Amino acid sequence: MNTSMVKSKFLSHPEDLGVVAVGFSGGQCKPGVDAAPSALIESGLLTQLRDELNYKLHGHDTVHSYTDLVPREDPPFRNMKNPKAVSSVTQRLCDQVYEHAKEGRMVLTLGGDHSIAIGTIAGSAKATRERLGREIAVIWVDAHADINTPETSGSGNVHGMPVSFLTGLAKEEKPEYFGWLKPEHLISVKKLVYIGLRDVDPGEKRILRENGIKAFSMFDIDRYGIGRVVEMALAHIGADTPIHLSFDVDALDPMWAPSTGTPVRGGLTLREGDYICESVHLTGSLVAVDLVEVNPSLAPEVELGAHETVRAGCSLVRCALGESLL
């Protein structure tokens, strides 16, 4: 048993934690984010989850690099960079997450860039449909909406597109370019909630508006406070829905998490980030967590920036998995 007093509503083995460490950075152009899982593990995250939160870990002894899946030639397709690599890595990751989730375990994925959420969310959506006959909700905590389609994206980096593929707003038939995503892998735009947005492209603003997607930006957090925002986000999802939390460390202000590929000022404090994770844990509805975009090699001008970012990431994960202050 873990020490948390919260009873899980949807996991048959809530004390079992499937860990998938994803050393992959192909969804964007800056090397280093693939080193995050090792840095998080070396700083003691998994030991803490085992010894302090009493989880029984599964799959934690390997950091996956997926080098066998990265083709020598991978030219852009529909404006996407490294499309074949990202497609096949996320497809494999989908299977990995699915294998844990179908056993009724909590699943923790350590990224990696945010493109990997295509795989993690697809895997947990499929397993939850099969196991419980339910759709999952997704809480996407991020400075960015990551909902560009290949056509609206300026950069072509797939880490800015995962939500459009997961909601079916972006479609592709060819299996080697995300055509492996089937209806059982997808999520509803109605069960998607953003928290922390502050750098949203014009095309993405249109997509959010046209699809009525619930999004709480930093403006809303300033206006209502983090407590009320999380309450409204959870009310939107509804009490009887399994939750997949996808947390991009760039949601935090660069003051707390400078070592990330696309930092944006004016973000969440570490406590606000922890609070989101603590609150989601308290619902008892959490079935999976992603922590992404920690890049220990990027820490411009900030002494110990990488160390601080890794520490912040560990804190977020521990809070989501049941650590409490008292």
Question: What positions carry a catalytic annotation?
Answer: 114, 142, 144, 146, 159, 248, 250, 293
The least CB distance from residue 198 to Mn ion, in Å, is: 12
The least CB distance from residue 264 to Mn ion, in Å, is: 11
Nearer to Mn ion, 17 or 292 (CB): 292
Query: Going by DSSP bridges, is the β-strand pair 13-22/56-58 parallel, antiparallel, or unpaired?
Result: parallel
Nearer to Mn ion, 49 or 117 (CB): 117
Nearer to Mn ion, 106 or 158 (CB): 158
Euclidean distance between CA atoms 125 and 138, whole angstroms? 10
Per-position DSSP letters for 5-28, written without gaps between them: -PPPSS-SEEEEEEEEEE---TTS
Euclidean distance between CA atoms 152 and 135, whole angstroms? 27
Chain centre to alpha carbon of residue 84: 21
**CA dihedral sign, ordered 168, 69, 64, 315:** negative
Candidates 103-111, 166-174, 194-202, 242-250 — which segment interacts with Mn ion by CB under 5 A? 242-250
By CB under 5 A, residue 248 contacts Mn ion: yes
Question: Torsions phi, psi of 41, nearest 5?
Answer: -70, -45
Query: What number of chain residues touch Mn ion (CB under 5 A)?
Result: 4
Q: Closest Cα partner for 145 from 262, 225, 234, 230?
A: 262
Candidates 14-22, 23-31, 169-177, 248-256 — which segment interacts with Mn ion by CB under 5 A? 248-256
Query: Which of residues 64, 84, 100, 114 is near Mn ion by CB under 5 A?
Result: 114
* DSSP bridge pairs for 56: 16
Candidates 76-84, 112-120, 124-132, 277-285 — which segment interacts with Mn ion by CB under 5 A? 112-120
The least CB distance from residue 140 to Mn ion, in Å, is: 8
Euclidean distance between CA atoms 11 and 73, whole angstroms? 41
Residue with tokens 């829905």: 241
By CB under 5 A, residue 323 contacts Mn ion: no
DSSP 70: S
Query: Which of residues 74, 146, 172, 253 is near Mn ion by CB under 5 A?
Result: 146
The least CB distance from residue 66 to Mn ion, in Å, is: 19
Candidates 41-49, 136-144, 198-206, 212-220 — which segment interacts with Mn ion by CB under 5 A? 136-144
Nearer to Mn ion, 291 or 306 (CB): 291
Query: Which of residues 16, 34, 74, 142 is near Mn ion by CB under 5 A?
Result: 142
Vertex 194: Cα angle to 202 and 187 (nearest 5): 100
Q: Where do contacts with Mn ion occur on this chain (CB under 5 A)?
A: 114, 142, 146, 248
